[in-house]
Structure 1
Amino acid sequence: MRYRNLGTSGLVVSEVGFGNWLTHDGGESEACVRTAVAEGVTLFNTAAAWGGGAAEESLARGLAGTPRDDVVISTGAFWPEESGAARGGLSRKSLFASLHGSLRRLNTDYVDLYHLLRFDYHTPLEETFTALSDLVRQGKVHYVATSEWTAEQIQQAAGLAERHRVPLVGNQPQYSMLWRVPESQVIPTCERLGIGQLATAALAQGVLAGRYGAGVFPADSRAAGGGLARALIWPLLTEDLLARVEPLRGVAGACGLTMAQLALAWVLQNPLVATVVVGASRPEQVREDTAAAGVRLDLDVLGQIDQLLGTFVQTDPRLTFAPPQYRSADPLTL
């Protein structure tokens, strides 16, 4: 494993982090967490709304016995743990209630990194950062991060964070070979502000890991399942896109990598990315993914990737925009 500072802060995280958005309720979920620890992973990412709090409880069980100071626990707030119009968002009341619930479920006195999982169009940003300032002073939150915010929103947040002495050090975008939306505005803005990136969705729901072919959906895959996971993967399962992705298998093989390792290593080539967060349903997937740490790709490999994916690469910064849907109980994040 390799380690990087998150932005210009002193917080050090593993190049590959572990997240349990869709993998917290499987039979091997806690074994995956323990394997991640054994492989040198230090960043563990979860959220209050995932599984109605079940993801945090699962992570706590997986980390039982691991010294608290050896890991960076990241959780976040925005969606309510339960349905209800009066809950959710980033109001003072919601943040305090959500964080205290997270601390209880995670069996810890503090979280290292607290994510604001979407921008709240219904609450003044001043109120959000005043509340965060109090939580930081109380020692319950050490650092703060945004997630899927636009460059303009992050700029606004940074000014308030400085005024209220809130250590805003991270941003969590979706970022992959196919989804390069943060590159033109979000990442440059964060660089100027000393904010590091915690990249998610680097495997594009498994497409960039080579899990899918034309009409081929493994029985244990997200495409074969149901609910939100299926809804997110199906738009990617087009014949044209899968045909473009398949040759990446040869590129990966020539580098001595699996397709998943190639996709993760591609994200880590960006020095402004501190960590790439991956999920796993089996310990062997954790071991495969963590092997991407420290891999350097030659310029000709990066050129081959660009040529193969061509116009399927998304770069429009307007796609960062997340409309105000926080009243939904379904967390649309990774």
Structure 2
Amino acid sequence: MCDKHQKPITASDTPGFYGIDRYGFPEAGEHPLDPAEYYPPYFWSERFQKLGYHVEELRGGFYWVTSGSYDAAFIVTEDGVIAIDAPPTLGENMLAAIEDVTDKPVTHVIYSHWHTDHIGASSVYGPNVEIVAHEITKELLERFPDPGRPLPTITFTKEYTLTVGGVTLELSYKGENHCPGNIFIYAPAQKVLTCIDIISPGSATFMHCDASQNITAWYEAQHQIMEYDFDYLVAGHHMKYGTPELVRESIEYFADILEGAQAAIDIYSRSDRLIDILLKPGLDRFWVGSENWINSMVNYATKHVLEKKTSNGKLWSERLAGVTSMTKYHAYTVMESIRLERPRPNYRLRGENAPPFLA
């Protein structure tokens, strides 16, 4: 954790601070401090340091709750509270946050998706709540039972409107992205959107595109967020709630990841370059050559992103937290998605020894 009183390191202070070692990893000790604006005032407060959570009203009875690493939310209605998720890192602090602002009971819980790091403490809401989730989420929880994640009582396939005590939430499933069953939850009156594990406001996401399963659809979901008329985004992770500006910033960062990964594949999958890398260790060490090939592409894509001047003239390390440690993982994952999920430019013709692209 950075010292809030220490001046942030910039490229002008430490030339080459984003240095890359021969495996494509940023070198130890050369990570810049996180951008100063990454840490909101609550993070340094005595209350947060003591209690371990922060609760803040976004608009119209819609509250955001964070542990500083995981986010959840709740909405106070005339008839009770609708909770969204229950990360174990918040646990009973979700109840404490609700009790900070209302004495009304929790009547409904919405599961954003089935992953335990976001709903693994849902049993804290008790046995008498209605639990709303996508049907795939219920299927997965039936397959892998967990007393901390009670089964949904209400499921839907594509769209579902939940109205409780004068508050309306619009739930939508647009297909697998981060995982099957991950849904969009929109409060139109408050202009608050909840979409978990697609971006991390002010930061690179956790490694491998937040451990997402369908990377092409995960990219699509970033743009689907921007189709909503929202002022606030509950995104699931890190220090702050999202805004349209922060979502656009994340979209730009991951566009650069995709650009660098595609360029790396184009360059290192030419038959001459590829065969040279594969054969250097010898034919009897094929997997060593394969690792060298992957490392070469990760090196290229990582360097491309970390050295590129972004749309406002700054480096990504000056705009987002975590990019010098996470970019290499994103580069690998996005390269794999290009190879596995996106159209191939060519295929081997009959009688050819080596196609123009082997990726």
TM-score w.r.t. the length of structure 2 is 0.30
Q: Which structure has more RCO (C-alpha within 8 Å, separation ≥ 6)?
A: 1
Higher radius of gyration, 1 or 2:
2
More helix by share: 1
